[in-house]
Amino acid sequence: MGVTTVTDVRPTVSVDGPTPSRASDPLSVLFQSDQGGHEQVVLCQDRETGLKAVIAIHSTALGPALGGTRFHAYASDEEAVLDALNLARGMSYKNALAGLDHGGGKAVIIGDPASAADGGIKSEELLLAYGRFVASLGGRYVTACDVGTYVTDMDVVARENRWTTGRSPEHGGAGDSSVLTSFGVFQGMRASAQHTWGEPTLKGRTVGVAGVGKVGHHLVAHLVEDGANVVITDVLGASIDRVRDRFPQVKVVDSTSDLITGELDVYAPCALGGALDDVSVPALTAKVVCGAANNQLAHPGVEKDLADRGILYAPDYVVNAGGVIQVADELHGFDFDRAKAKATKIFDTTLAIFDRAKSEDIPPAEAADRIAEQRMAEARRG
């Protein structure tokens, strides 16, 4: 087992500007791009198990870097490194805005996340090898679940190190982090309603939820309880049926296109990233966009398009931070009520971002970045 480490101790710089191209050279991104500034990148390989992984630590200014492990069959090793760099940087901002004493980090494991028996490469031995690499960082990086990894995987990884969260309750963990992810999105949506209509409630408002899977179906429950009129869509019939069985009053439409062109007050993208693009934004009827999906803006400039149309955008990395708040609490001996109290503060954080955006005449995402950067800069100064 070998480790290659690259270090850059320059201060964090602004995230303004285009996201690096997938074809970019990772070293150029790391050392020269405004999207760089990472403290450490670890390339991990264990040939016996087939493990190839990247652990990227963007910042430890606020504390140990915290972020999930993504398991994905990337088109190239370079693409995997770039994804780790981008995701780690995003976690620095998410954790700072969530009020956590954690910097940002992310790991990616390269390969098909299906089990070896099903044609993929995931195995207990591979996850244990990955856990040893996390242990080799001595607590600088705390891992958790992400796309392609699950609570049961983290239980295995945790057997090799104590810096693993997102474990099952049987192993001292918090379990499914989608519970507080959805709660945090609901708090962000309440703040959006307060800013837009003067009241922190969705009662009587029509909310369209695109994607009612792990997070989306919990969000629907919060909205129905608050008195909202909910419209949903999902590519999986089973997900639709689960919601309708519990809430028969919820309306279903066939597609996301049907959803966003219908009469909505709030649009909640809770499925794939890139939901806000040059096609969907001009078609939106909603006055607010607030959802759980990561990376909702398809490209730079989309948020300005939203603002030009008078649509309030709640930055996804602010409102969907309930999950990371939940897993971070595991490090202190998980207490659901304590974690939920922290996630409740997403309401105040979202309002503060809207207020700053209005006072400085900038988009909400830029205001969020400035608040996060200020907190990290103050931590570096001691």
- Structure confidence by residue, pLDDT tens digits, 323-345: 999 999 999 999 999 999 999 99
Q: Which of 286, 184, 280, 284 is nearest to 229 (CA)?
A: 286
Q: How confident is the model at residue 381 (pLDDT cuts 50, 70, 90)?
A: confident
CA angle, 19 as apex, 14 and 21 as ends, to 5°?
140
**In Å, how far from its chain's centre is CA 207?**
21
State the maximum Cα–Cα separation within the chain, in Å, rounded to a whole number.
60
Residue 123 and residue 350 in contact, taking contact as beta carbons nearer than 8 Å = no
Q: What percent of the chain has pLDDT over 90?
A: 83
Q: What is the pLDDT of residues 239-280, one digit of tens each?
A: 999 999 999 999 999 999 999 999 999 999 999 788 999 999
- What pLDDT is attached to residue 22? 43
Give the position of tokens 């101790």.
9
Average of pLDDT values for 340-353? Answer: 98
- What pLDDT is attached to residue 13? 32
Q: For residue 45, give the H/E element and its range.
A: strand 40-46
Q: Which residue among the candidates 106, 122, 287, 342 is catalytic per the annotation? A: 106
Average of pLDDT values for 299-324? Answer: 94
Q: Which of 309, 318, 303 is nearest to 371 (CA)?
A: 318
Q: What is the pLDDT of residues 167-182, one digit of tens each?
A: 999 998 988 888 999 9
Average of pLDDT values for 204-233? Answer: 97
- What pLDDT is attached to residue 273? 82
Q: Is 106 a catalytic residue?
A: yes
The answer, yes or no, to whether residue 104 has pLDDT greater than 50, is: yes
The answer, yes or no, to whether residue 12 has pLDDT greater than 60, is: no
- Calculate Rg over the CA atoms of the chain: 20
Candidate from 204-213, 277-286, 293-302, 315-324 with smallest mean pLDDT: 293-302
Burial zone of 138 (CB within 10 Å; 0-12 exposed, 13-18 middle, 19+ buried): exposed
Average of pLDDT values for 6-27? Answer: 43
Residue 76 and residue 54 in contact, taking contact as beta carbons nearer than 8 Å = no
The answer, yes or no, to whether residue 23 has pLDDT greater than 60, is: no
Average of pLDDT values for 93-113? Answer: 97
- What pLDDT is attached to residue 8? 27
Q: How confident is the model at residue 20 (pLDDT cuts 50, 70, 90)?
A: very low
- What interhelical angle do 77-97 and 322-329 show, nearest 10? 80
- 3-state DSSP helix/strand/coil percent for the chain, to nearest 5? 45, 15, 40
- What pLDDT is attached to residue 9? 26
Q: What is the pLDDT of residues 118-165, one digit of tens each?
A: 999 999 999 999 999 999 999 999 999 988 999 999 999 999 999 999
The encoded tokens of residue 118 equal 């099903």
- What pLDDT is attached to residue 28? 85
The answer, yes or no, to whether residue 63 has pLDDT greater than 70, is: yes
Q: Which one-letter DSSP state was computed for residue 134? A: H
C-alpha–C-alpha distance, residues 179 and 222, integer Å: 11
Average pLDDT of every residue of the chain: 91
